[in-house]
Structure 1
Amino acid sequence: MSTQGDDLRISILSSGSTGNVCYVESPNERLLIDAGLSGKKIEHLMGTIDRSLTDVNALLVTHEHTDHRKAVGILARRYPQIGVYANRGTWDAMASRIGKVSLDQKHLFAPDTVQTFGDIDVESFSVSHDAAEPQFYAVHYHGKTFVILTDTGYVSEHVEGVIKDADAYLLECNHDVEMLRMGDYSWPLKQRILSDKGHLSNEEGADTLMDVLGNRTKKIYLGHRSLHNNMKSLCHLTVASMMANKDFGVGEDFKLLDTDPEAATPLEAI
């Protein structure tokens, strides 16, 4: 199996509070990061970018919440060539929810380590979220880096150091704070989302981006948008305005791109 060109290519198949799946490919490797939709929906979204799950080699899981692991067991049983990778805390937390997974498909991926998948190196890093042992990933290929960071209440200096100056980011902009405060969620749920173990707001996402992006950064995908406490236009405007006000070259030095829970972004090189 090989792909056209010699690039690291990505498609955000789905990103939002209802489900998350990311596809990454190099000339010789194809990976999924998370499987937070039904197996049928993931198969459909892969088809929209002219790719098939029959060629996927590995599925990396960030944590056990349903919108990130819903189809993990289904895909493992349907596609036995896919190895499933997660840390021990995540495996323990999701074991009773995903059904049987063959032992030869189960692999440990400890936090703050690097594993190699063909010609791709993937670096894991721990985050602050109300899950058993949440971690996200920086994907490295031939001097290019793609970082996925959603589902965290804050970004530590350590994490900022790990993800600094990547070529592309999928970064959480989960909620507009005023929409969340004025919305219908219970007060305990609002407190959970706003906490250090919750989710980044639009403003917090923008602040993080301004701390970590560098001269290499060309693409920023705004991700994990809340279905009830955010809007695509508001999220984009908030981040773009904050960054432009600090003299970041939005639309010139880098592209600010939206994601969707129902439609994949184009499969593109970073």
Structure 2
Amino acid sequence: MENQGFKVSILASGSTGNSLYIESPQKRILVDAGLSGKKITQLMSEIDRSPQDLDAILVTHEHRDHIHGVGVLARKYHLDVYANEKTWQAMDTMIGTVKTEQKFVFGMGQTLTLGDLDIESFGVSHDAADPQFYRFHKDGRSFVMLTDTGYCSDRIRGIIQNADAYLLESNHDLNMLRMGAYPWSLKQRILGDRGHLSNEDGALVATDVIGSRTKAIYLGHLSKENNLIELAHMTMVSTLKEHDIDPERQVQVHDTSPESATPLFSL
């Protein structure tokens, strides 16, 4: 049974940097590398892994908290990098030189097969060139990552239904953001359709997409200034309960950190 599924660790998630690690018997992949190469190496060591074991990096969009270490890691470890055309255009000058033979276009709405993993891409609503996130499939099991979106359309809800586990955005608490020190223009950006999901919005998405297979939700991309882990967790748990979803027996809610990796979990 060990070889049938795959394993995931959220190495870092938050407004200061994002990176996710996924491995199957055949492939080891990073999704985003929004921290320094040194920090990502440290985070991978927390789960007894090393960047030299990686095969590829997938990029969701060109914001710095998602691409900071992409170029460094690609050059040092000769990694293939996948992004859609507009994201490549937006980030090309930001990540430094990456050899042509390491650069691959992974278009939105397509499915990419890397070894024994099928990776489905889907577009989101965020203020980047052409942001996309991913659903990973193997042997009837799947993992969805959805952060950095201002809202979750019915189309996206359909694509991400009934995964075994999710990384879902819980970026901000609405009251903390509204009362906080951010300038109004930045608050408008975060609250807008091309911003980020609040704790409440992320929790409502969860209640819509959880299915009979779903066992875990990881809360991602928490704002350092406009959220608290306890608030995000409490909002998700209470919302699940309101929708008759048991957050202990049915679906486990897990926190993530911008500073430390979650333990590897198996699907």
TM range (shorter): over 0.9
Deviation at 1:128, TM superposition (A): 0.2
User: Is residue 148 of structure 2 the alignment partner of residue 151 of structure 1?
Assistant: yes
CA contact (8 A) 2:169 2:196 kept: yes
Flag as ranges the 4+ runs of structure 1 deviating above 3 A. Answer: none
Q: Secondary structure of 2:94's partner?
A: helix
TM-score by length of 1: 0.97
Aligned to 2:32: 34
| Aligned match for 1:195, one of 192, 217, 231 | 192
Which of 51, 69, 72 aligns to 2:70? It is 72
Query: Tell me, what secondary structure is at the counterpart of 2:48?
Result: coil
Match of 2:54 in 1: 56
1:9-53 CA distance string (max 9 Å, x none): 000000000000000011111110000000000001111100111
Supply the distance in 2 between the matched residues of 1:252 and 1:159 (Cα, whole angstroms).
26
Letter in 1 for 2:9: S
Q: 2:42 aligns with which of 40, 44, 53?
A: 44
3-state SS of paired residue (1:98): coil
Kindly state the Cα deviation for residue 5 of structure 1 after the two structures are TM-superposed. Answer: 4.2
CA displacement, residues 35-92 of structure 1 (integer Å, 9 cap, x when unaligned): 0000000001111100111111110000000000101110111111x10000011000
SS in 2 for 1:140: strand
User: Match of 1:198, SS?
Assistant: coil
Q: Distance in 2 between matches of 1:26 and 1:196?
A: 35
Q: Report what 1:248 is aligned to.
A: 245
Q: What amino acid sits opposite 2:94 in the alignment?
A: R
Conserved 8 A contact 2:4-2:139: no
SS at 1:23's partner residue?
Answer: strand
Q: Structure 1 stretches of 5 or more lacking a match?
A: none
- SS, match of residue 92 in structure 2: helix
Q: CA RMSD in A?
A: 0.7
How big is the shift at 1:204? 0.1
Name the amino acid aligned to 1:233: E
2:234 aligned with 1:237: yes
User: Structure 2 CA distance, aligned partners of 1:5 and 1:63?
Assistant: 31
CA positional deviation for 1:213:
0.8
How many pairs align? 266
- Amino acid of the residue matched to residue 34 of structure 2? G
Alpha-carbon distance between aligned partners in 2 of 1:234 and 1:50, rounded to the nearest angstrom: 31
